[in-house]
C-alpha cells in the first residue's frame, strides 16, 4: 500500500510538472514584440481611437451630400358644439412631407473639414505606431535585463562552485593543521554569502521575467530564448552619430505628428476665416395632406393637396460679436504652438539618439577594459589560491581576490549588456531589423 501511495504521488507530481511546462511560453525578442503589438492594451486602445477618427472622416464626407427626411403629422380635433355647417364635432387631419437640403457654399468649410478629419485620422494612425514603438522599446529593455539577470545567475553559480571547491580543500588544510578553524570559518561564512547572492540573482531573474510577462499581457509563465552574443557583437563599430540620427528621423512619431499638427492648425485657421463668408443652401420639399371634413375621398385629397417647394437660402454674417476674429487668432496661436512642439520633438529625438550613442561607446570601452580586468583578476586569483594552499597567503587575501574576481565579472557583464541594449535600440530607431542571433 505504501508503495502504491508513493507511486500515485510521484505520478501526480510528474503530471503537475508537465502541465506547468506546457503552460510556459518560450519566445525570442521578435516574437515578444509581435505578441505585444497584438495583445497589449495600450496598443488596442490606440487602434480604437483610430477607428473613431475614421468615423469622423466618414461624417465629414457625408456632409457634402443632401439630406433627405420624411415627416408626417396626424391630428385629431374635437368641437364642443355642433357647427352651423353641420360638420361633425370630431375631425381628423393628416399631413405628409418629403424634404431635402444641401449646402452649396459656406466658404469651403465642408471640404476643409474633410481635410481636417483626414489629417486627424493620420495622426491617430501614427499614434498606433507610437504605442507599438513605446512597447517595443520597453520590451527590448526588459528582454536585455533578463539576459543580464540570467548571466548574473551563471556567474554567481560559478563563483559559488569555486568557493565550495576551495572550502573542501580548506577543510583538508584545517585537518592537516595548515590553517586555523577561524580561517576555515571565514571561508565557510563567505560560501554562505555566495549562496545568498545566488538566490538574490535568481530572484532578480524571476522579477525581470515577471515584468516582461506583465508587459505582454500574459498570464502564463514565460521563458525566453537566450541569444548567442559574442564579444565581437558587443564591440562592433557604430555608424556616426549624425548618420544614426538621420536614419532615425522617420522613427519618431512625435516629429511626424508635430508636422501634422501644424497642417491641422493651418486648416483650422482656414475654417475659422470661412466664418466671414456667406452660406448658401438649397432646400426642396414635397408635401400633401388630407382631412376628414373634406367631401373628397382620400386619394383625391392627397392629389389635390399635393404641392412642391424649392428654396434658396443665403446667410451673410454681419456681426458675430468678435467670434470669427477670435477663432482666427486662436488658430494662429495654435500654429505657433505646433511649430514649437515640432522643435521640441526634434530636440528630444536628438537627445535620445545622442544619449544612446554615447552610452554604447562608453559601455563598449568599459567592456574592453572590464574584460581585460577579468583576465588579469582570474590569473591573480589562481596565484593567490595556489599560495594559500601552500600556506603562503592567509584567508583574508584569498577572500579578497575572489571578491575582486566576482566584482570584475559583474562589471564586465553590466557593460556588455548595456552596450547591447543601446545598440539594439539604435537599430530599432533606425527602422532596421534587430540583430540578436539565436
Structure confidence by residue, pLDDT tens digits, 108-158: 899 999 999 999 999 999 999 999 999 999 999 999 999 999 999 999 999
Q: DSSP label at 176? A: T
Predicted confidence at residue 300, as pLDDT, reads: 86
CATH fold of 26-64+107-277+324-429, please? Outer membrane efflux proteins (OEP) (1.20.1600)
Best CA proximity match to 39, nearest among 222, 208, 200: 222
Which residue ranges make up each domain of the chain?
Answer: 26-64+107-277+324-429
pLDDT at 224: 87
| Sheet of 90-105, strand order | 67-78, 90-105, 279-291, 307-315
SS3 at position 116: helix
pTM more than 0.85: no
What pLDDT was estimated at residue 21? 44
Predicted pLDDT of residue 76: 87
pLDDT digits (tens, 9 = 90+) for 389-413: 888 888 889 899 999 999 999 999 9
User: What pLDDT was estimated at residue 81?
Assistant: 58
* Other residues' Cβ atoms within 10 Å of the Cβ of residue 170: 23
CB-CB contact of 174 with 165 (8 Å): no
Residues of the chain with pLDDT under 70: 1-24, 79-89, 438
Q: What integer pLDDT is reported at residue 17 of this predicted model?
A: 43
Helix ranges, 274-322 (H): 298-304
Q: What is the pLDDT of residue 80?
A: 64
Amino acid at each position: 500500500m505504501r508503495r502504491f501511495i508513493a507511486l500515485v504521488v510521484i505520478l501526480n507530481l510528474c503530471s503537475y510538472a508537465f502541465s506547468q511546462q506546457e503552460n510556459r511560453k518560450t519566445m525570442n525578442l521578435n516574437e515578444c514584440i509581435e505578441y505585444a503589438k497584438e495583445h497589449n492594451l495600450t496598443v488596442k486602445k490606440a487602434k480604437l481611437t483610430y477607428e473613431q477618427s475614421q468615423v469622423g472622416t466618414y461624417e465629414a464626407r457625408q456632409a457634402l451630400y443632401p439630406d433627405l427626411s420624411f415627416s408626417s403629422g396626424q391630428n385629431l380635433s374635437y368641437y364642443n358644439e355642433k357647427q352651423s355647417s353641420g360638420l361633425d364635432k370630431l375631425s381628423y387631419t393628416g399631413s405628409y412631407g418629403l424634404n431635402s437640403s444641401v449646402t452649396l457654399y459656406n466658404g469651403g468649410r465642408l471640404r476643409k473639414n474633410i481635410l481636417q478629419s483626414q489629417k486627424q485620422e493620420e495622426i491617430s494612425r501614427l499614434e498606433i505606431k507610437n504605442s507599438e514603438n513605446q512597447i517595443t522599446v520597453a520590451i527590448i529593455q526588459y528582454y536585455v535585463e533578463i539576459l543580464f539577470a540570467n548571466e548574473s545567475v551563471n556567474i554567481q553559480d560559478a563563483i559559488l562552485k569555486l568557493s565550495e571547491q576551495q572550502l573542501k580543500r580548506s577543510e583538508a588544510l584545517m585537518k592537516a593543521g595548515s590553517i586555523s578553524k577561524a580561517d576555515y570559518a571565514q571561508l565557510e561564512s563567505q560560501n554562505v554569502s555566495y549562496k545568498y547572492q545566488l538566490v538574490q540573482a535568481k530572484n532578480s531573474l524571476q522579477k525581470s521575467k515577471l515584468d516582461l510577462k506583465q508587459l505582454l499581457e500574459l498570464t502564463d509563465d514565460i521563458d525566453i530564448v537566450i541569444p548567442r552574443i559574442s564579444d565581437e557583437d558587443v564591440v562592433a563599430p557604430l555608424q556616426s552619430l549624425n548618420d544614426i540620427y538621420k536614419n532615425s528621423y522617420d522613427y519618431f512619431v512625435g516629429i511626424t505628428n508635430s508636422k501634422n499638427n501644424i497642417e491641422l492648425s493651418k486648416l483650422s485657421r482656414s475654417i475659422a476665416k470661412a466664418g466671414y463668408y456667406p452660406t448658401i443652401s438649397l432646400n426642396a420639399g414635397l408635401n400633401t395632406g388630407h382631412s376628414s371634413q373634406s367631401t373628397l375621398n382620400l386619394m383625391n385629397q392627397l392629389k389635390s393637396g399635393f404641392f412642391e417647394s424649392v428654396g434658396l437660402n443665403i446667410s451673410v454674417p454681419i456681426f458675430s460679436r468678435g467670434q470669427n476674429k477670435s477663432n482666427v487668432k486662436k488658430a494662429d496661436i495654435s500654429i505657433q504652438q505646433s511649430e514649437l512642439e515640432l522643435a521640441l520633438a526634434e530636440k528630444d529625438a536628438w537627445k535620445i539618439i545622442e544619449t544612446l550613442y554615447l552610452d554604447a561607446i562608453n559601455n563598449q570601452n568599459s567592456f574592453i577594459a572590464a574584460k581585460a580586468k577579468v583576465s588579469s583578476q582570474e590569473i591573480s586569483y589562481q596565484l593567490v589560491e595556489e599560495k594559500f594552499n601552500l600556506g603562503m597567503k592567509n584567508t583574508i587575501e584569498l577572500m579578497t581576490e575572489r571578491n575582486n574576481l566576482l566584482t570584475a565579472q559583474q562589471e564586465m557583464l553590466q557593460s556588455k549588456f548595456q552596450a547591447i541594449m543601446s545598440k539594439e535600440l539604435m537599430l530599432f530607431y533606425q527602422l532596421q531589423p534587430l540583430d540578436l542571433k539565436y
